[in-house]
Structure 1
């Protein structure tokens, strides 16, 4: 989704719908600034992805150790905002942590500057079977 296409508005409405249904919603973004912004817009507390996963920065531990120590995320819905800023490792950690039956909503802009880490992870989701993709213009 491109800049100005309503990603934040869509997120706000999703949170409102899920809250009405009394579902447990977790919202996270790759940076503290992005998490604060989505919290302000939705009225729902958001955290950084690292905090949601309960991991430190990659430099604090080996990538393999982090992968083995991933804590499960118990929620009905997990919304990841600004996902295009995330690298492949972070997306992999999220997918691994989300429990069976949990809906994972990943929102981002494929035309945004690529993540600092390895590979453009959000573009890869378009190639996975059983993943629904929605694009706005």
Structure 2
């Protein structure tokens, strides 16, 4: 069975002062993660204070590479199938995203992926991932 990926329309992200650097970097094709200025640990989802030590945080560039931790191909909701996944970035944080531009039946846990920014409806592009 083959389940081709069909591009989706993504809602424009809600850009706020605390996440503006993330979306500005996304417009330039760069993925950022928050890293603690005190303990040095990265975390996702982005927060002003470190969830490990309550220290201040800064945005740092991520490699854009990762590994599929878990996924699900949804064939019933919406007009076309899509793959939602947890991807663990090389930096160690895990984020929820979509896997795109592949036969969705070939997606497997443990596969390497790369970030690919997908256009949104009038806003910054959103981070999605393709098989590496």
> TM-score, normalization: structure 2?
0.28
